[in-house]
Structure 1
């Protein structure tokens, strides 16, 4: 299988090396060249990547005969990536559906901008979800997925999810047995679940509102107690309506959403203690019963509390 690996000045070196390592390892373990990888750039010239200048084998014409074009991650500056890769975008717009196209992480924006993801399922890094949806409303973004496949169009989520997609491509084009061999050699687990497992529960925004910052500190200390909007508004010395507005500005969440995330975050820590039952964890973090706790946990974490605890045991 001929693979064209696209490189540009925005290419994330770790994403590039990860894809190269996975495909080269597949060849090594198979004892033959199943994936013939050629590095290409827009003009066929070497690409400066900050700490290294990377040589390529040719320009976009090499991609014409490739079975798969693979675009490593290009960072979070989406507009800069689009502005500086117009040659690639023009090439992509002419691609027939039978030619496979794959993007790692943020490079889904290149496939989307060319129209290659219109009405197709796709994913990218969870931090880019809002801006991606605004820019490309015709894409069926499934941000919770580590990788997606839809009619020869492949996308992956953040960083390590690129390796999940590479393993999927190896399995699809060379057999599941080889993908298992590659995963085992790289000491990585296949079928790792969803991106929500890795998304931080609490926002990381800085707080310019000292009163809201103080309120959040109080909520972190009292998350297991019964807390409602009127009591929070009273503590913040404002009306419930004003609190909602200021709270959302500070955190991007409603007070109740933030409270639920606080509780589930505390539950993740409590679940590390094998002596604590699920019922005890639920009560400890502020839920009246195990069922409501488990429902909220799966909603926010993408897995049940029991599955989370089991995975922790397997990793220890």
Structure 2
């Protein structure tokens, strides 16, 4: 029986959760379902291997030592290559850092291999030039940098899974546990939907149908080097709920309206009102998660008098209604609180 070959790339920046999580899911296909149904393991279908520049033991993220089974080799036929996420800062340069790996990816792609990247692993596909003029996604915290660094790539930060490239052989997952979506998709595509559903049932995997938008930190803002705009940022961080905060910042800056808006946009990447909305909505998310305050009261508390406008804005930016968001993330908090020992605080 021909087994489907899966190479999982190991680099010093690889995280073990994604690396071994995907390894385990591929190894489990048909084997574990048969074990549960008949008491004996079934025959596995996939042959995952850890590959890297050199064989032997390598140290990856968090000081974990793993054994690399095979060298990256463009001459060896492969069905699938999986790129786990990389533990690097979003704006950390990758140029010149993965030259061997990039050449390998380019060569394998030309030969028909399906390339799949989880989270920040998408950076390797982009750096290899494979995503030029293609749709892509990555962890929401890396999408802005990807747009800036690779302007020809069409980045979709709200989506948890994107399929692109020739013969749809470039597959990318967003952040966090969306690598599970990636693995399920690869199983369904290369073997069948039934087998993917069996794996999902065994591991209790829920598909991220809402994408990664509800999980994203809206206020991905940094303090500006522009001293005037930086002062406005500091002020609005404490006073975003006030009436007309943009007008107040403009007055504080001493700039004309046109100059203020231009400098604010250049410094933060957002218009002043967009910046205010991100701060307000991030606080609303926290209140929905951690309190039982009514949604209408939360809208007023963060600065919105019009409840319907708040709801529409929240849905557009977060991907869920305020009520849906509370049910999803408030339930998690309540569950954690219920199992936390008495006297041990659960930080907000």
Q: TM-score band, normalised by the shorter chain?
A: 0.7 to 0.9
Instruction: State yes or no: 1:189 paired with 2:206.
Output: yes
Structure 1 residue matching 2:82: 3-state secondary structure: strand
Q: Which runs of 5+ in 2 are unaligned?
A: 34-41, 335-348
Structure 1 residue ranges (4+ consecutive) displaced by more than 6 angstroms after TM superposition: 207-211
Q: Which residue of the partner structure matches residue 327 of structure 2?
A: 310
| Cross-structure match for 2:100 | 87
Distance 2:28 2:246 in 1: 55
Give the number of equivalent residue pairs: 315
**Cα 1:53–1:81, aligned 2, differ >3 Å: closer, same or farther?**
farther
Judged with a 3 Å threshold, the aligned counterparts in structure 2 of structure 1 residues 250 and 109 are, in CA distance, closer, same or farther, namely closer
Task: Name the structure 2 match of 1:259.
Answer: 276
Q: How far is the alpha carbon of 1:111 from its aligned partner?
A: 1.8
| 1:89-238 superposed matches below 5 A | 89-94=102-107, 95-96=109-110, 98-150=112-164, 151-206=168-223, 215-216=232-233, 218-238=235-255
Q: Structure 1 residues 235, 117: closer, same or farther in 2, change over 3 A?
A: closer
Q: 1:176 to 1:269 in 2, by over 3 A?
A: same
- Aligned-pair RMSD on alpha carbons? 3.2
Q: Is the 8 A contact 1:202 1:258 kept in 2?
A: yes
Matched, 1:297 2:310: no
Alignment partners' CA distance in 1, 2:235 and 2:74: 60
What's the offset of the Cα at 1:247?
A: 4.4
1:57 to 61, 69, 87: 69
User: How much does 1:67 deviate?
Assistant: 0.9
Quote the offset at 1:19 in angstroms: 1.9
For 1:18, the equivalent position in structure 2 comes to: 21
Per-residue Cα deviation, 1:114-148 (whole angstroms, up to 9, x for no partner) = 33323332111222223322333332221221121
CA deviation string 1:85-110 (max 9, x = no partner):
32232232232374211112222222
Q: Is structure 2 residue 8 aligned with structure 1 residue 8?
A: no
Tell me, yes or no, if structure 1 residue 67 matches structure 2 residue 79.
yes
Change (3 A) 1:250 1:152: closer
Alpha-carbon shift at residue 274 of structure 1 (Å): 5.2
Deviations along 1:229-279, one digit per CA (max 9) or x if unpaired, are: 333332455544554466456644333112212322233244355562x44
Question: Once structures 1 and 2 are overlaid, which stretch shifts more, 96-105 or 229-238?
Answer: 229-238
For normalisation by structure 2, the TM-score amounts to: 0.76
Provide Cα deviations, 1:130-189, integer angstroms capped at 9, x if missing partner. Answer: 332233333222122112112121112223222221232233334444434434444442
Q: Does 1:39 align with 2:50?
A: yes
Q: Structure 1: where are the runs of 5+ without partners?
A: none
